[in-house]
Structure 1
């Protein structure tokens, strides 16, 4: 779909201090800063977030960012980049890394210096750092400028030198290379001079190898920090050369080694996976349930399966992982499917694991931080209830029920409505209602009307001051009996609320918002976890 057909010209501040305009319309145009924030959030300056659009980021997509840099607003740009990178507001981090790389190429000295200073705040992991260098190289070819100047060399040196030594040792052994770049490349090209002995040890390990490190530190009185790093790297090297399953398991358990530090052949051993599971991040565990079941690591009634089930539904573990209920749901449906991509591998879903995942879904609602706004979630199920949300294994009906349930249970002021033959019908989601019950009730409603102005009219007529309208549909065809913009303006005038509308089509086709200068309109095509971030950001006037 052409994003130009739904892009919107918006203006004003991106903070929450908006006021209704003097014309009485309650709309505001989009500023370059708002467009920048959209780009940092989901990789596009337009009013469309598509779950299918994860394509290559290029300079052509950053018109607002470039305009702000030309207007000497580099400091403001970098503050937004850091905010989206650090606060977890972005759907993905790549746009922020690209924007940082673009700022670092800017001819304005202050902007360039601030960009390099922000490197460690935005690129906190080696994978981020490699992406930054990749974008720098691409921009060099586009802008015909150099890469390896003094400023970049200093920034990379600072990135390595300011790391905790043990954390850096783990990082360089888990993520050795990415995007065509390696730590060896970056340390060599940046001419990094280690600031302390432990960093010098890691640098030598990366650039010269383990044998050189052993020679340099044998029969030498080493500082405590150096001794710890030496011991850790010795373990990493030992596991790399071990073919003994028992030894590998022992090293994993004693030193908390991770999957990325092992050889591929180690992952053929069931006991190795059992050892890894004890410390593996919970979000990784739930995504790998199928692989673990197909590999017989998780078998019915086994101690590994029981341990996993206990962990999955542990409130402490769920809270620590900050895992979202929609993530649990997506992983559950993938597991139920019984096979991976193109039918391989295959597995039979374990009923105890499914029971644990179901429990985790409801418990993980505690991880959803309320926005504190008034929401209306309007659901249209006039399409096929068995249709699937693209890129997932979940039906559009179950997805709609889950989305409505998440808002209803986490936002105190939420009204769920369903399109019916007669009119919008309030839909009650009680505290003890299951997702299946909610889904079964939703699909009973059928309507010929798919007019997304109807929920706005309902709120206006019922004197509800709504901050955000969210329409959910599995039908690709929308109808409009009135202007979206005019309906929204009328509600703003009547209620005094700074109302917004998010149109979500749970499929990829059929959605288009007419060209408008109203910043309160946004489209979501498909649905994934990132869509929740987009809605939250819009509700808080951040995009």
Structure 2
């Protein structure tokens, strides 16, 4: 009789036992569902592999991910290109490197038609000179400079607006062992425009014309930035350099390093973009520009950081603002010995920038349980290459975005409890109710997360706890690395038990904080959704799923 009953209703399996044939063993030894190839490719594009994971070093994680991307591109070149462009056009990824690498693989290894489409998309993906040189390095590492490669790179130089090309010539002269001159010599771009030829000559270290630009009868306006750069390279004081920056609209990269003093940084606030500003708040403070004695500078910076249009024009990702806030608020640089006194108004403006960088989130009105995985595996590695931003801390930032848009949220942190199953059979629940609210400052929430206890990973706990405590939940949002292994019940089983006990058709959103191949979301259950952590589109995807639109 026992065998017959087991056949009709199998006994509960622990997370270290396979629940269904389509499950796979994750890096921690537990069984979870494999993310679809498209989903895993999207995770790579958005999260990359910087920092590695608890179970894999950065190098090993990168090799594993890159091998998968190679295979995916070989099998699904057109789909890979579509996803790359979706991520780029939606400004969904904090860094461009993963998309540039993926595009290089498509451009070099897919079928001929898809390769041509990839080269046509290069100017859109490589928006800056730095990005182009990164792409060139990836393409070169994949072997040789054939006709498609030469023409694809050449077209970027041939078609780029001349004023933008001139800016590249003085701002992005070289990156990571590659110079614009190297790419030009290999690509051989062609043009009938005298101004474009002049910029090419400057990139190659040759005289722009036979006479100075200022003496030309009718110089191309785009050449003014090159003239200004040439004059700036001979200045001896930062005051002279700052005057030239304003006269010629020069970026700070166009003046010598030794001339970059206080006056130059003040001018750079006028001539450089928002990305530069986010990266140089510490320098501006160290030089005394961001300080109470300069209220006009503080007000200018606050206004720029709080401007949604400026954030969009600068293609700012939420992680850019979060990184800037974490570094600036601590009052010291990540590298070197730079120290400064943070200005509270700047910290507050960076927090606003973080939320503004996400698209406007339409609330669903549902009851949310925001469950943050604080197990040991979530405290290793970094998200988006941001120093100190572990997956554990990143979950706090992501959860606050939903908490600000939804009126009914219950935030909890979870790790494996002692005594079993979220306190269902006694023992420690493993859950810590979080006293966080949208009104709190983000850096305060991050500090609170650092003090929480760590343990093994049991992603079933949020559902088990909510069922035991009879907490009504429409949407469980679990922020995790999916390396669950410690529980006696699989998360998908725990969700189904919650639905039956509470009579609520609860949904589960799994926010994957690392670019692994695993998810606790059962692909066969329409009430479960897997999304990518720090995808700028994630909060809206969560809301749409909660409303039944996805």
TM-score tier by shorter-chain length is 0.7 to 0.9
- Could you tell me whether the CA contact under 8 Å between 1:194 and 1:203 is conserved in 2? no
Q: Which residue does the alignment assign to 1:235? A: 228
Distance 1:357 1:239 in 2: 34
* 2:458 matches 1:454: no
Distance 2:431 2:217 in 1: 77
Q: Which residue does the alignment assign to 2:65? A: 61
**Aligned match for 1:466, one of 450, 456, 475:** 475
Task: Flag the 1:239–1:50 CA change in 2: closer, same or farther, 3 A.
Answer: farther
1:279-298 equivalent positions in 2, closer than 5 A: 279-298=271-290
Distance 2:433 2:89 in 1: 38
Q: Which residue does the alignment assign to 2:263? A: 271
Q: Which runs of 5+ in 1 are unaligned?
A: 11-27, 141-146, 506-510, 525-529
Task: Flag the 1:324–1:376 CA change in 2: closer, same or farther, 3 A.
Answer: farther
Task: Flag the 1:56–1:497 CA change in 2: closer, same or farther, 3 A.
Answer: same
**Aligned match for 2:510, one of 485, 488, 501:** 501
Q: Which residue does the alignment assign to 2:47? A: 42
Distance 1:182 1:89 in 2: 28
- Could you tell me whether the CA contact under 8 Å between 1:42 and 1:49 is conserved in 2? no
Question: Partner of 1:5: helix, strand, or coil?
Answer: coil
- Could you tell me whether the CA contact under 8 Å between 1:471 and 1:504 is conserved in 2? yes
**Aligned match for 2:297, one of 290, 307, 321:** 307
Distance 2:139 2:413 in 1: 49
Task: Flag the 1:99–1:368 CA change in 2: closer, same or farther, 3 A.
Answer: closer
Q: Which residue does the alignment assign to 2:10? A: none
**Aligned match for 1:368, one of 349, 358, 361:** 358
Q: Which residue does the alignment assign to 2:404? A: 409
Using the TM superposition, name which of 438-447 and 153-162 deviates more. Answer: 438-447
**Aligned match for 1:484, one of 470, 486, 491:** 491
Distance 1:135 1:400 in 2: 31
Structure 1 residue 99, shift from structure 2 partner:
1.7
- Could you tell me whether the CA contact under 8 Å between 2:34 and 2:517 is conserved in 1? no
* 2:199 matches 1:202: yes
Structure 1 residue 238, shift from structure 2 partner:
0.7
1:115-514 equivalent positions in 2, closer than 5 A: 115-140=118-143, 147-209=144-206, 211-215=207-211, 222=218, 227-267=220-260, 269-298=261-290, 300-303=291-294, 306-312=296-302, 316-317=306-307, 320-321=310-311, 328=321, 330-341=323-334, 344-347=337-340, 349-350=341-342, 353-358=343-348, 360-362=350-352, 364-369=354-359, 370=361, 375-379=368-372, 392=387, 402-412=397-407, 414-417=409-412, 432-433=439-440, 451-458=458-465, 461-466=470-475, 468-470=477-479, 479-490=486-497, 495-496=504-505, 499-502=508-511
Could you report, residue by residue, the CA deviation over 1:291-313 in whole angstroms, capped at 9, with x for unpaired residues? 33334444x4433x541244225
TM-score, scaled to structure 1:
0.72
- Could you tell me whether the CA contact under 8 Å between 2:370 and 2:410 is conserved in 1? yes
- Could you tell me whether the CA contact under 8 Å between 1:130 and 1:182 is conserved in 2? yes
Task: Flag the 1:513–1:501 CA change in 2: closer, same or farther, 3 A.
Answer: same
Q: May I ask how many residue pairs the two structures share in their alignment?
A: 489
Task: Flag the 1:39–1:358 CA change in 2: closer, same or farther, 3 A.
Answer: closer
CA RMSD of aligned residues (A): 4.8
Task: Flag the 1:7–1:35 CA change in 2: closer, same or farther, 3 A.
Answer: farther
Could you report, residue by residue, the CA deviation over 1:488-527 in whole angstroms, capped at 9, with x for unpaired residues? 455578655652334769xxxxx99799975969799xxx
Distance 2:390 2:135 in 1: 37
Could you report, residue by residue, the CA deviation over 1:437-496 in whole angstroms, capped at 9, with x for unpaired residues? 8689989998999853232235565452216323699xx998424222322455578655
- Could you tell me whether the CA contact under 8 Å between 2:27 and 2:55 is conserved in 1? no
Structure 1 residue 188, shift from structure 2 partner:
2.1
TM-score, scaled to structure 2:
0.71
Distance 1:63 1:443 in 2: 34
Task: Flag the 1:207–1:34 CA change in 2: closer, same or farther, 3 A.
Answer: same
Task: Flag the 1:150–1:56 CA change in 2: closer, same or farther, 3 A.
Answer: farther
Question: Partner of 1:241: helix, strand, or coil?
Answer: coil
- Could you tell me whether the CA contact under 8 Å between 1:204 and 1:212 is conserved in 2? yes
